[in-house]
Amino acid sequence: MSVTAQTVWNNCLLFIKDNIQPQAYKTWFEPIVAVKLTDNALSIQVPSKFFYEWLEEHYVKLLKVSLTKELGETAKLVYIIKMENTYGNKQPFTEKIPSSNRSAVKSQNVDVPLNNKNPELRNPFIIPGIRNVKIESQLNPNYNFDNFLEGDSNRLARSAGLAVSAKPGGTSFNPLLIFGGVGLGKTHLAHAIGVDIKDKYPEKTVLYISAEKFTQQYIDSVKKNNRNDFIHFYQLIDVLVIDDVQFLSGKSGTQDVFFHIFNHLHQNGKQVILTSDKAPVDMQDIEQRLLSRFKWGLSAELQTPDFETRVSILKNKLYRDGVEMPEDIIEYVAKNIKSNIRELEGAIISLIAQSSFNKKEINIELARQVVEKFVKNTKREVSIDYIQKIVSDYFQMDVDTLQSKTRKRHIVQARQLAMFFAKKFTKASLASIGSQIGKRDHATVLHACKTVDNLSTTDKQFRKYVEDLTKKLSV
């Protein structure tokens, strides 16, 4: 019976499978394809340069032993990297690289085709030119569970976070989606979960990244023709934390690549943690197949903290900073700043600074001055949903009527005003505004904004609508 590349590799796999964890075997050895056996050299095909680097870094001894058992001491191993060509050329990129092991696996000449002269390591978090496959977590150790105080507003999310950190990938909270308004602690809690997992499971690869940075890395990978390496890098992660996932809205290419990464991680028992400023049901311009996966696990909301929780947060902040403050001052600040934790802590920092710089005693009068200035200078975030509600109430109609297809003049004008103020008060794209206000396209929104501008200068009654709504939305 003749010895083929496939039979040699199958025997190697039997040995490898007995000597590593099932999950590692599935991730790193199942995708490998045996290509040919020539002069005691086994050629295997791997899907990316990063994949090859990882095998050489972590499994070269295992490969050496298994291959030596099959082919003897003169055995050689040649990697063939077959990468997806994201620019659509017919010929796939291939690169033959010998294994670096000098005994069982001997070095051969590198054959690199002209269309990719200098493939580099695809870890998007390291400085180009430095060869290093270690993945840093990007976590902030200052964001931990010790300083994320529990209250009625965050109990579910915090408890779910603790459950996930105790058993990442092993609970029904996968993915865990933490959502809520600005400054309520979504990023803090996401970091806290990652930090706790790193403490309990130092061998696990944990990675925190914002959706914005993830998108930029994906765009770079397409430009550099290494999309496959980008995907494989993220498939290495045991615990992936994506912050502000709503940023993927309208970005179909990034959503598609994240869909495949998410599927791989989830199917392999890896933990995914997401944060968003809204619940999945309220997300716009996110593909349905991705939204359905967001709902597989648990969506936990962070709400505005109640008075008792706000007092506890302030006391904890002061204790950590080594600052003493009278109880009545703490309660005054907590009572008057209700919107979110970020503003609450910002106010107490301002109060301490005012006292220190101006050599004034911290009393109720100083607290009142600081809080008044702070609240006055803090712009409240206005959402498109809120704008639609204010405009609908002003014109005495419900939001469904505002969003309807009717061409009645007063409803059309209300809808155009909602689009105008959404563009003025939010950072949403025209496409996103149109999608949220009756599923219109960006051209309709652009037309609405021009119409409002024109009518404001020619129609006295319409100008009053704009002035009244501006006051209501600027409060």
Question: What is the maximum alpha-carbon separation in the chain?
Answer: 94
H or E element at residue 341:
helix 341-357
Phi, psi (rounded to 5 degrees) for 466: -65, -45
Tokens 């920092």 belong to which residue? Answer: 349
**C-alpha gyration radius of the chain:** 29
To the question of whether residue 186 is assigned a binding role by annotation, the answer is: yes
454 vs 130, 378, 448, 462, CA distance in Å? 57, 31, 10, 10
Residue 311 CA to residue 317 CA, distance in Å, equals 10
Instruction: Report whether 163 contacts 174 (CB < 8 A).
Output: no
To the question of whether residue 434 is assigned a binding role by annotation, the answer is: no
Neighbour-count burial of 44, counting CB atoms closer than 10 A to its CB (0-12 exposed, 13-18 middle, 19+ buried): buried
Instruction: Report whether 133 contacts 120 (CB < 8 A).
Output: no
Bridge partners, 242 (sequence order): 209, 274
To the question of whether residue 61 is assigned a binding role by annotation, the answer is: no
To the question of whether residue 250 is assigned a binding role by annotation, the answer is: no
Annotated binding residues for ATP: 183, 185-187
Annotated binding residues: 183, 185-187
